[in-house]
Structure 1
Amino acid sequence: MTATEQRFREFKMPDVGEGLTEAEILKWYVQPGDTVTDGQVICEVETAKAAVELPSPFEGVVHAVHFEEGATVDVGTSIIAVDTDPGAGPAEAPAAAEAAPAAEEEAEPQGRQAVLVGYGAAPSSTKRRARKPQAGVPAQEPAAAAVQAELNGHAAPAPAPAAPAAPAAVPAAGRPLAKPPVRKLAKDLGIDLATVTPTGPDGVITREDVHAAAAPAPAAEAPAPAPQPSADVATGGSEAVRARETRIPIKGVRKATAQAMVNSAFTAPHVTEFVTVDVTRTMKLVQELKQDPDMAGLRVNPLLLVAKALLVAIRRNPEVNAAWDEENQEIVRKDYVNLGIAAATPRGLIVPNIKDAQAKTLPQLSAALGELVATAREGKTAPGDMAGGTVTITNVGVFGVDTGTPILNPGESAILAFGAVKLQPWVHKGKVKPRQVTTLALSFDHRLVDGELGSKVLADIAAILEHPKRLITWA
């Protein structure tokens, strides 16, 4: 690593998930010129799994931010440069400091010109003493330019009449003068170097030139659009229709969720069973637990007892807590339960899970549920919190929905939908009375969960919610 590289450090987009290949930059918290410390959050990115804040691994002054907010960046691509020794005085960044010192064309004492690797010597205003040309034959360019052009796969430039000396911005090979890191920066920013005005010595394009070219030009007053024929709207013309539509790019969490659901729906044969149950006693228990000193400060709601009921049902029917290993042709039964809770967020549906939920007491489970949901809604769920789930609950009841046919989370064998709890007429002890009633739906992978096993699990959950004392007797 050169001294310049040690001073100007490039921070590359890390793989913040499990094998992810790209991330979208949501927000920058720093800009060029800002001082940063080691560990300071510099930006927020969104992967296919979650939004993640990235800390700076360097301390110094931000030299350059390579991508704008909203850009999707491949893992391993540099996103920001930090000057780790700003007190050392002005210096070129690595992109402008990687010249090839041994390839220079010696000039007259008036000056020497910079030469870039692979380009040979560029024409210069300070030339060697020209040989006396033969009659009718124009003066030739230096031989080194012709040789270098041939090595680059180009024909030597044709002789041309002498022209007044001017600073050259293009080498003999016909490409703008720019060092490899500057060319990469231009490529990342979508800038054609041929359109960039060079300001560096001998017509070399610098990083600052590329950033200047990438800066948005002042908006010119646009001419008024031509009026659309009214017949276009009446006939459903494409331009008129698009003007009345909103198009949202499919990326990040939504893109990953869509792909996962397609893969799940067309890989695992889904079966869904339903049961409607009187949960009046469970709702009374929820109210009692809210007053219990052991649950003080915790969020107690029906979902908590549904989760506990599912965990008890899995203990009684452990075969449902499994996965299908297609590659090894095995059914993998899990002796632990990582309980996923489907959470709707502004960026899409995510399913973080509570690790080893089967080992948690009711207060511990309540605390874990509250933290999981709050973190998900803030968009701060870590990728690791969404990996390794074994079974999932989706609470569609919060939207007033009675039930649904949930699609399995990839890699899991069962998902429980918890519908809205409503006051309904119900036969209770031989009489029709108003009771708190809900509908549960259990989808399962029919490759490893047959109808008998699926029915037992769903029946156990319903029985616990109807008589919650079974949380004690069956546990």
Structure 2
Amino acid sequence: MSATMIKEFRLPDLGEGLTESEILSWKVAVGDTVTLNQVIAEVETAKAVVELPSPFAGVVAALHEEPGTVVEVGKPIVSFEVDDAGPSGGANADGGAQADRPDAGGVETQAAPAKREPNLVGYGAVVEHPGRPARRARGQVRTQAVQAPSGTEAAAPAVPAAVEPPAGERPRSTPPVRKLARDLGVDLEQVTGTGPHGLITREDVQNFGNTYVESEGAAPVPSGDRETRTPVKGVRKFTAAAMVQSAFTAPHVTEFLTVDVTPTMELLARLKGSKVFEGVKLTPLTIAAKAVLIALRNNPTLNSRWDEENQEIVQFNYVNLGIAAATPRGLTVPNIKDADRLPLRELAGRLSELTETARAGRTSPSDLSGGTISITNIGVFGIDAGTPILNPGEAAIVALGAVRKAPWVVDDALAVRQVMSLSLSFDHRVVDGEQGSRFLADLGGILADPAMVLTMV
């Protein structure tokens, strides 16, 4: 019989240099047998909810974190008991082994040759980790031997067990919790952690702060239903940080244009009755998105970004069209890759798929990165106009207002027409007023008279 060994799976960077993720739920339990790439957990990054596949085939030996815990990238989250196939044991689907990283998990490891760390979930580059000398990470841990199968002498590597950190070590907590403690003036050395393995949680800090205030004779924090507090984390936390960065980095300019879109609404009605678009969801957003893509052909400057580090303006020769989507977890802006190459029918399908996936919280990190220009459809909420904030890394965003019936002058006479307001915000470092105005005028011209497309393509 073959021997077994313990393999740790450390939380990977799920894209764009994210530093932490929250464990939402485990799809396996200790003792379960799992196969390679079987979904073992659902985690929420700052951008999306991601299903985490197993990098090993074997038996779940330990789950190191509870659901609801925010875990830093590189920390062990689950251990597997796998067959020891020798030096190449525990290989993943690509033939590489999970790299031991003594600086990431608090477990003593031995020096190892360079190993190829697998790209477990399809996000981020494959990284080469050279072998490093053995050392014991900060916060030593006890180990527990795992019994090898009967008839063998081999013993599995040790499984970490939680202990209190040695005196003088920094208490275990996450960066958001440490920031909260600083904001509240709480000394983490005095706080007892109630989380997994003694982790200090947000609630621990808040409870300690409340107790301290009451002990000093101050009024207690109001309780009951007078207020509701919602922790800012995940998608909402990322969105808030991104909007602050954008608003105070890029000089925003917003222009407005009100357009008679009656011809566009008539075109939409005809398309819905066409066999070519049978079974396809068509909305004013569909036509407006196509109009934005066409208007960009004559105004490519708006499909750019400001590169602060290199002091360059980067103009994209493709369009990854972002669509702002309101979800239960907060605002997200997934994008349609190479949207400028899609015919109207396919663009409509991708728009429907994108919005449905976003609302279900299943947008992948790759779909949330790499956008070049965005649209926010505030008209669905009955709003006419606004001053949208740029999505970081983009030079322009278009807000579509509600389509309303309104009096409008047609051939020097008043008529009831369907009218929409367009709002365009742009980065004035990248886009001049003339360029922004021409783009908005072209966009309005297409929506006011779809035949104008013939003059632009």
TM-score, normalised to structure 1, is 0.68
Q: Which residue of 1 aligns with 2:411?
A: 429
1:185 to 135, 138, 162: 162
Q: Is the 8 A contact 2:30 2:61 kept in 1?
A: yes
Q: Is the 8 A contact 1:98 1:179 kept in 2?
A: no
Distance 1:373 1:291 in 2: 23
1:252 to 222, 234, 241: 234
Give the 3 Å change call, closer, same or farther, for CA 247–428 of structure 1 in structure 2.
same
Structure 1: runs of 5 or more not aligned: 87-94, 100-117, 119-174, 193-209, 215-235
The aligned amino acid for 1:407 is: I
SS in 2 for 1:469: helix
Q: Is the 8 A contact 2:377 2:399 kept in 1?
A: yes
The 5 A counterparts of 1:236-385 are 238-240=220-222, 244-385=226-367
The aligned amino acid for 2:259 is: V
SS in 2 for 1:286: helix
Give the deviation of 1:183 after TM superposition: 6.4
Distance 1:272 1:63 in 2: 56
2:391 to 392, 402, 409: 409
RMSD of the TM alignment (CA)? 3.2
Q: Which residue of 2 aligns with 1:196?
A: none
Distance 1:415 1:28 in 2: 38
SS in 2 for 1:84: strand
The aligned amino acid for 1:410 is: P
The aligned amino acid for 2:143 is: K
The aligned amino acid for 2:32 is: D
Q: Determine which structure has the larger strand proportion and give its number.
A: 2
Give the deviation of 1:178 after TM superposition: 3.3
Distance 2:195 2:64 in 1: 9
Q: Does 2:443 align with 1:448? A: no
Give the 3 Å change call, closer, same or farther, for CA 11–284 of structure 1 in structure 2.
same
Deviation string 1:309-355 (CA, Å, 9 cap, x unpaired) is 11111101112211111111111111111111011111111111111
Q: Is the 8 A contact 2:66 2:196 kept in 1?
A: no
Distance 2:164 2:438 in 1: 59
Give the 3 Å change call, closer, same or farther, for CA 392–211 of structure 1 in structure 2.
closer
Deviation string 1:165-216 (CA, Å, 9 cap, x unpaired) is xxxxxxxxxx99933977663469xxx9xxxxxxxxxxxxxxxxx99998xx
Give the deviation of 1:283 after TM superposition: 0.9
SS in 1 for 2:440: helix
Q: Which residue of 2 aligns with 1:76?
A: 74
SS in 2 for 1:424: strand
Q: Which residue of 2 aligns with 1:110?
A: none
Distance 2:380 2:374 in 1: 16
Give the deviation of 1:55 after TM superposition: 0.8
Q: Which residue of 2 aligns with 1:60?
A: 58
Q: Is the 8 A contact 1:66 1:185 kept in 2?
A: no
SS in 2 for 1:239: coil
Give the 3 Å change call, closer, same or farther, for CA 98–47 of structure 1 in structure 2.
closer
Distance 1:212 1:270 in 2: 45
SS in 2 for 1:7: strand
Q: Is the 8 A contact 2:162 2:197 kept in 1?
A: no
Give the 3 Å change call, closer, same or farther, for CA 283–82 of structure 1 in structure 2.
same
Deviation string 1:411-465 (CA, Å, 9 cap, x unpaired) is 1100000011111122222222221111110000011211111111111111110
Identity across the alignment (%):
56
TM-score, normalised to structure 2, is 0.71
The aligned amino acid for 1:179 is: T
Give the 3 Å change call, closer, same or farther, for CA 468–211 of structure 1 in structure 2.
closer
The aligned amino acid for 1:55 is: P
SS in 1 for 2:68: coil
Give the 3 Å change call, closer, same or farther, for CA 185–372 of structure 1 in structure 2.
same
SS in 2 for 1:449: coil
Q: Is the 8 A contact 2:396 2:426 kept in 1?
A: yes
Q: Which residue of 1 aligns with 2:47?
A: 49
Structure 2: runs of 5 or more not aligned: 85-104, 110-134, 145-157, 170-193, 199-217
Distance 2:410 2:223 in 1: 56
Aligned length: 351
The 5 A counterparts of 1:4-15 are 7-15=5-13
The aligned amino acid for 2:273 is: Q
SS in 2 for 1:275: strand
Distance 2:418 2:433 in 1: 28
Q: Does 2:351 align with 1:387? A: no
The aligned amino acid for 2:81 is: D
Distance 1:176 1:451 in 2: 60
The 5 A counterparts of 1:78-227 are 78-85=76-83, 178-179=142-143, 185-186=162-163
